[in-house]
Amino acid sequence: MAGWGWSVHGDGRSVAPGEVVAPGERLAWGRTIGIGMQHVVAMFGATFLVPLITGFSPQTTLFFSALGTALFLLVTRNRLPSYLGSSFAFIAPIGAATASGGQSVAVGGILVTGLALAVVGVVAHVAGTRWIDALMPPVVTGTIVALIGFNLAPAAWGSCTGDDCSGFRAAPVTATVTLLAIVLVTVLFRGILGRLSILVGVLVGYAVALLRGEVDLDAVADAAWVGLPPFVTPTFDPAVLGLFLPVVLVLVAENVGHVKSVAAMTDTDLDPYVGRALVADGLATTLAGVGGGSGTTTYAENIGVMAASRVYSTAAYWVAAATALLLSLSPKFGALVATIPDGVLGGAATVLYGMIGLLGARIWVQNRVDFSSPVNLMPAAVALIIGIANYSWAAGELRFEGIALGTAAAIGLYHLMRAVARWRGTHDEPATPASVPGGEELRH
């Protein structure tokens, strides 16, 4: 790629067997626009679930998702294809922060998380990433991912106050249909349609909800066709900031996994761009925190689109960012998304939260984590119980809950036990692989 332009790949119409369209290349603009729009469709289901579950505005989330994607491409110098959508790692801290101090406090937590991630990115860009691998070996990363997913289990089931219910309990029939639709689409279809099982399942559930009279479309009729999304000014409460800091570690794993996946599929050395990717996602999350959007991260669904099409052109992602921005400027579109009822969300969340939890186990399996070693076994065991039971601890104005405490336990106990075992020679030191693949798949 020369500068910021793209060279045309081959005849611009097709990709020969065994070849890929590199980030610095593109197909003809007509095909590039089509693939870019496909990326927007791919991220829809997962990106919108976060604001719908947390009570954020879908229109605002999409607005900052579009800006964040463009910012990511700029910071990575147009060499790393990625769409930035909503991160599920933010759901639990947003929920706790909103309950404690309102939505503006949750937005402030997102902003601080973004700044912290950007700082990690600067350090990684200057000093390399070996220290990240040392701090978070696969047993620790897998444990953190697992406890985040399982900590959210009660939110999937929901709660009831009188006749007002949330989650799966709000509409069990609709939730069950949604869940089954997601499961069946995953195994009935190959390629990109199978990857879009969340979106398809939500659409099926929404259709059932319409038939059952569970959808209120009055807000859609009243909404304008064109207009800016609603913005939320952040406020900062030290008592809840501890809830958000573990998310930084998850975002690091997701971004590093994304860079390694793209590098493997394009046969390109992208290690020099790991720091830039972390800075870019950090700045995008910070930007979202300035105005009320959900925190952002790279997306496995879009990795799936690239793998299926063999097109890794960053030009397609500029198209995706522009398309998402245009949609975000329609309050009517945002209002339509916001009508998705609790039953549909509960069914989808049941699948998603469980998958997030088991993706932690997948990290263990892929990296052959040896749980016969107490240095691996005990930190993971203790951290999972702390996260699933949602232990809490207050220190002055600061309040730490299951995810934060479980993350601290996983990291602290692992390194403590490893140091003591090495000093005493009581146990063999566990192997620490140099990378954790698959971190970018936390959304699918």
Please tell me the predicted confidence (pLDDT) of residue 441: 44
Per-residue b or e along 168-179, where b marks 16 or more CB atoms closer than 10 Å to that residue's CB: bbbbeebbbbbb
Of residues 416 and 2, the one with the higher pLDDT is: 416
Q: Is the pLDDT of residue 299 over 80?
A: no
Mean pLDDT of 319-344: 91
Q: What is the pLDDT of residue 10?
A: 80
Helix, strand, coil share of the chain (percent; to 5): 70, 5, 25
Q: What is the pTM of this model?
A: 0.80
pLDDT in tens, 204-261: 999 999 999 998 888 888 889 999 999 999 999 888 887 888 888 888 888 887 888 7
For residue 438, pLDDT over 60 is answered with no
Torsion angles phi and psi, residue 137, rounded to 5: -65, 170
With tokens 């998702």, the residue in question is: 65
Q: What is the pLDDT of residues 317-330, one digit of tens each?
A: 999 999 999 999 99
As beta bridge partners, residue 8 has: 26
Percent of the chain with pLDDT over 70: 93
Q: pLDDT above 90 covers what percent of the chain?
A: 34
pLDDT at 444 over 70: no
Q: Is 11 exposed, middle or buried (0-12, 13-18, 19+ CB in 10 A)?
A: exposed
The sign of the torsion formed by the CA atoms of 206, 161, 292, 229 equals positive
Q: Is the per-residue pLDDT at 442 higher than 80?
A: no
| pLDDT above 70 (res 314) | yes
pLDDT at residue 304 is higher than 90 = no
pLDDT tens column, 69-97: 999 999 999 989 989 988 888 888 898 88
Strand-pair partners of 160: 165
174 pLDDT tier (thresholds 50, 70, 90): very high
